[in-house]
Amino acid sequence: TQLLEQSPQFLSIQEGENLTVYCNSSSVFSSLQWYRQEPGEGPVLLVTVVTGGEVKKLKRLTFQFGDARKDSSLHITAAQTGDTGLYLCAGAGGTSYGKLTFGQGTILTVHP
């Protein structure tokens, strides 16, 4: 069974601060995705990383896939109140491709 450990589970910071969310596994994934979810809505895909060591930037968000494709991180620079939400990592691959394995999620609250 593939598992993804996501940390921290809760993050409460002030606007303008930086933060990093981690996603770790003992399993290798063919790709890893990061989603953001707001209350009452389904998750929305932010990025997919595929290549070990890959770094992708989306405005103030930086995503990295570990060299061994077992871990990933999401770094937010100068957080804004609009970044508040639930962030989820999800790994794809393994014997049942198409199926995603999700981490437990990180609830981020950015205070003004």
Partner 1 sequence: GAGVSQSPSNKVTEKGKDVELRCDPISGHTALYWYRQSLGQGLEFLIYFQGNSAPDKSGLPSDRFSAERTGGSVSTLTIQRTQQEDSAVYLCASSLAPLAGGSNTQYFGPGTRLTVL
Q: 43 or 66: whose CB is closer to partner 1?
A: 43
Q: Is 43 in the site for partner 1 (CB under 8 A)?
A: yes
Alpha carbons 18 and 44: distance in angstroms, whole number = 22
Binders of partner 1: how many residues, by CB under 8 A?
A: 30
Q: Is 94 in the site for partner 1 (CB under 8 A)?
A: yes
H-run or E-run covering 107: strand 106-111
Alpha carbons 17 and 72: distance in angstroms, whole number = 20
Q: Is 112 in the site for partner 1 (CB under 8 A)?
A: no
Residue pointed to by tokens 């794809």: 92
Q: 74 or 92: whose CB is closer to partner 1?
A: 92
Q: Is 55 in the site for partner 1 (CB under 8 A)?
A: no
- What is the nearest approach in angstroms of partner 1 to the Cβ of residue 7? 12
Within 10 angstroms of residue 29's Cβ, the number of other Cβ atoms is 27
Say which amino acid occupies 9.
Answer: Q
Alpha carbons 57 and 36: distance in angstroms, whole number = 15
Q: 12 or 77: whose CB is closer to partner 1?
A: 12
Among the listed ranges 14-22, 60-68, 75-83, 92-100, the one in contact with partner 1 (CB under 8 A) is: 92-100
